[in-house]
Amino acid sequence: MAKNGSTRLLERTESGCEVKRTVLPGGLRVITEHVPGVRSASVGVWVGVGSRDEQQSVAGAAHYLEHLLFKGTAKRTAVQIAEEIDAVGGELNAFTAKEHTCYYAHVLDTDLPLAMDLVCDVVFDAVLAERDMEIERSVVLEEIAMRDDDPEDLLHDTFCEALLNGHPLGRPVLGTEESITGMSRTALNGFYRRRYAMPKMVIAAAGNIDHATVLRHARRLLRDRLTGDQAPNAPRTGRARIAKPQKFVLHSDDTEQAHLMLGMRALDRHDPRRWTLGVLNTALGGGMSSRLFQEVRERRGLAYQVYSSVASYADTGHLSVYAGCQPDRLGSVAGVVHSVLAEVAADGFSDAEVARAKGQLRGNLVLGLEDTSSRMSRIGKGELSYHEYLTVEQTLERIDAVRADDVAELAAELLNRPVATALVGPYAHADDVPTEVVR
């Protein structure tokens, strides 16, 4: 890790792109990507705080706080914040995840100073007024109710709770109705003041911007906060201690479809085999040519939507499969999904399937960097999670290096692990669920 105050050039391409990183006093990191030929700029403040950092008593605090910081600062009301970003046709928003929170703005390049001012004002100078907290409490409770009305969102949270049994990573990012209703301003303000520390933060910017200009604005806006010789926090690592997964969880709901998700624990994000896992996931259920899509939808017409996905955290992860179907087809769908997983665990994928998956990953990576918001997210999240910058070419090389044998070996390891299954649908009792669902 570079010393405070030092700047490093991480990449310079033939097309004129430059990626630079500076560690400011206090441990704040600033990373930028200059992209010539564009007229936009995206800037984000990434905070290494998410729902896994909450005690059960304040479950949902990170997300609740994200809402509340936009309600007013020492120098702006919520209305003024909205009016200033709308006046330049920009976007100002935020999102909360399990291990981080991001506050970001997307504007014309000429409006970068305003974007940085707004984002830094929201993150560092929010007042958390009691009246605003009550207003946002109602908003968050509405968001929880909306989640409960969306079977797929409800299913995902139910599955995570079953798989990551009792661990904070298994709790919903939104919290619960009980935790949000009972949360006090004192508890939320304490969470904000303790957790939002400079060594946990990264300012990332991408677009038609200059690194020195971003640094100048950061120093101007943060001033007295940029003091001390603290180093940035090391990336989260370790091995999560998690109880055995719950085998099956049913959420009875009067839905038109049965919504099924099953999966197992997989790799943490620091595992060097994560590139292999990406290929495995893509070949399994990542596109129209994937094994699951072909077997469940194309050959049998059992479901409209079926896919697999991967989540990787600092010390664990999971691989999951989702399918939505008519309730009378659930047994058939579950049977085919289990058969596919068993086949892949035993035999892996063909060379052609692996080649297609690698091509899909390469295309998705490169095409996903067509806008400055994606570039900002890539460098910001990479710095926060890894303290590392990988060029696009380095990432492509790692994908290209994956072999069919590597995928087969990893599939045999992961797909034989204990499975957690979650179901949302019109079933009053687990005895009403087809036996093929739980094996």
Q: In what order do the strands lie in the sheet with 258-265?
A: 248-252, 420-425, 258-265, 317-325, 305-312
Q: 175, 168, 184, 181: which is closest to 148 by C-alpha? A: 175
H-assigned helices in 211-262: 211-222
Q: Cα-Cα-Cα-Cα dihedral of 70, 76, 77, 83, to 10°?
A: -80
d(CA 33, CA 10): 10
Tell me whether residue 66 is one of the annotated catalytic residues: yes
Distance CA 367, CA 36 (A): 17
Identify each DSSP E strand in 182-290 by its residue range.
Answer: 201-207, 248-252, 258-265
- Which residues sit opposite 264 in a β-bridge? 319
User: Tokens 């060594």 belong to which residue?
Assistant: 199
Q: Which of 66, 84, 136, 383 is catalytic?
A: 66
Nearest to 285 by CA among 345, 226, 340, 203: 340
Active site residues: 66
